[in-house]
Chains A and B, each alone.
Chain A
Amino acid sequence: MKNNKLGKTNENHVTLAKKSFWIRLREEKYLQIMALCGIVWMLIFNYAPMYGLLIAFKKNYMITTPLFSAKFWKSAWASSFGFQHILNFFKDEEFTNIMTNTLGISLLKLCINFPLPILFALLLNEIKNARFKKTVQVISYLPHFLSWVVLGGILTTWLGEGGLFNEILIKLGFAETGKAYLAYPEYFWPIVIISDLWKELGWSAIIYLAAISGIDPQLYEAAKVDGASRARQIFSITLPSIAPTITIMFILAVGGLLNSNFDQTFVLWNPLNAPRSNVIDIYTYNTAMRSMRYSYASAIGLFKSVVAFILLFIANQVTKKLNDTSLF
């Protein structure tokens, strides 16, 4: 059946190839129009911003200059063959701090928020009562659907001076007076890590649960016959079976190391906690939108996406070597 179908399309292909361009165009006109709609969209919304990255190499881009104009091309280029802004970023007095914050938050998330959903999926899989399992799953997904703004609102309420968190601390005798935790830089990282975990733990586990449900039950039965304990089954069957999924998710996580969840940071960030919350994305945003230094901000953005791509590539190559799983 499948072979038949393949043979047929091949045949079509051969006859089509003989037809001239115009005849094919007439036959495919609807399909071509549909495809070109997508291509035009990509040219405007994906490729035009890539072209817009040229402003990172301009001396000082002014927002009033249209991107597609002779004036834009004639305006002065940055020194050091256009790389002045990128080089300046390395010398920026904020550079070390920004990189510490970005990588600090991301690495903590990679160490804590990456493995915990796997553990959660493994534990869920151990629940024997199907209804209870389903209920836990459904409830654990719910936080994923709250927006970061709403979660930010909840956190502001809880962590405010008269908020629930302070109230409990005072009641238990851990603190004398309330503290607005979001106004102190030293609490920013834990707040970001824990709130992200709360929101995404259940949802991130889905992908692993899907992988677990695809494991052949016979493997477990054979293991039981051999007298393997539940822990042994997890380590010898479940984990090796879902290793490819874990690898893919890991590659993606490494590729996103510089990303630091903009939606989240942007809500929780404020000038008071800036020493620990100023990550690349926030700095880029403020450089452009508050200080109006568009060229400099774009250069930082470009630096970020180049590093992200390199990281993705390295992670991909390493995992390819180690366990033969790769994204591309």
Chain B
Amino acid sequence: MNRSKLNRATFGDRLLTILMVLLCFISLYPVWYTIIISFNDSTDSLRGGIYWFPREFSLESYKTVFQDTAIINGFIITILRTVLGTITSVFFTAMVGYAFSKKHIMGNKVYMILGTITMFFGGGLIPTFILYKNIGLYNNFLVYILPSLFNFYNMIIFMSFFRSIPAGLEESARLDGANDWTIFCRIIIPLSMPVIATIALFNGVGHWNDYFTGVMYINDAALQPIQTFLYRIVASASASKAVVSLPAGISAQQVSSQSVRLATMVVTTLPIVCVYPFLQKYFVKGMMIGSIKG
């Protein structure tokens, strides 16, 4: 009786292990497949039958990718917006969070109400688009930076973290004559590095992966990030001639070559996949902060 129960348990465990291994395979294989096809000769790939490793290894697609000025330019825009956007956004949001964390300041309640309303109501896509056109953000690099400068949800995370910092540290600095700004820059920020790192990571991935801002607000090929560029070639490939004319800066040849498309995808994703294993614990931590506080 006891023995059979034990056996049944191990059977369940085995089934669970098999299921989980299968799940890992499903999670990884599409990425792996993309990588091997991108390293395979493009005409050879058309014959099909490649499942595990490249059949005719070739770096031709990557050569094309790295010689294409539109792609290089897209990368420069993506890197610029990710770095600038993340730094400014984290600093600005933390700064506002610090002010909001002081319950005694005048207007604190009104400020919080104003912010909370934005969590439930918004103008929506079209009024936002018209506003950005009105204030000159259309076709302007700043459209990547300014609208994402502040995030009320992240502000709340900062705010509750700042409130947990012992008040004594600030008090002693104030006795030494430091003002609130100096305290924020010299004391609060260095003490908040774990939270800052987590929010910066989320922000960075958001910037890196965002393609829609480029589609919606940018019409100048020189300003489009790599994800927008990729979106345009993917969309035209998926619709197979059904989609309307291609925007400037994308030649028909780029669209026709599947390998080049995949190589671009690999290069676009590579930075995230490379840093991911080292940073994933911060992502998870951030997700948990959000879930507990939110």
Contact = CB atoms under 8 A, between A and B. Distances in A.
Identify the interface centre among A48, A135, A153: most chain B CB within 10 Å of its CB.
Answer: A153
A281 B272 CA distance: 28
Contacts of A156: 234, 237-238
A284 B122 CA distance: 15
A30 B180 contact: yes
B172 interface: no
A206 interface: yes
Given A49-B124, A135-B24, A38 B99 contact: yes
B122 A136 contact: no
A321 interface: no
Contact of B127 (A49, A136, A145, A152): A49
Contacts of B211: 147-149, 263, 267
Given A5-B167, A140-B23, A210 B16 contact: no
Say what secondary structure dominates the interface of chain B.
helix
Interface residues of B, number: 99
B190 interface: no
Given A32-B105, A136-B24, A294-B130, A150 B146 contact: no
B100 A35 contact: yes
B283 interface: yes
Nearest to B115: A42
B231 A149 contact: yes
A225 to B, nearest CB: 16
A146 B208 CA distance: 10
Given A39-B111, A288-B129, A147 B123 contact: no
B230 A150 contact: yes
Given A49-B124, A152-B235, 8 more contacts: A5-B167, A25-B106, A35-B96, A37-B96, A48-B131, A132-B17, A156-B234, A160-B240
19 contacts: A21-B106, A32-B99, A35-B96, A35-B108, A38-B111, A41-B149, A44-B135, A55-B127, A120-B23, A138-B280, A139-B24, A140-B24, A142-B273, A145-B276, A154-B31, A198-B30, A201-B23, A207-B287, A267-B231
Interface of B: 9, 12-13, 16-17, 19-20, 23-24, 26-28, 30-31, 33-34, 37, 46, 48-49, 92, 95-96, 98-100, 102-108, 111, 114-115, 118, 120-131, 133-135, 146-147, 149-150, 152, 155, 167, 179-181, 184, 205, 208-212, 215-216, 227, 230-231, 234-235, 237-240, 242-243, 258, 261-262, 265, 268-269, 272-273, 276-277, 280, 283-284, 287-288, 291-292
Interface of A: 5, 9, 12-13, 16, 21, 24-25, 28, 30-32, 34-35, 37-39, 41-42, 44-53, 55, 61, 63, 66-68, 120, 123-124, 126-128, 132, 135-136, 138-143, 145-150, 152-158, 160, 162, 164, 167, 180, 182-183, 198, 201-203, 206-207, 210, 230, 245, 262-263, 266-268, 270-272, 281, 284-285, 288-289, 294, 297-298, 301-302, 304-305, 309, 312
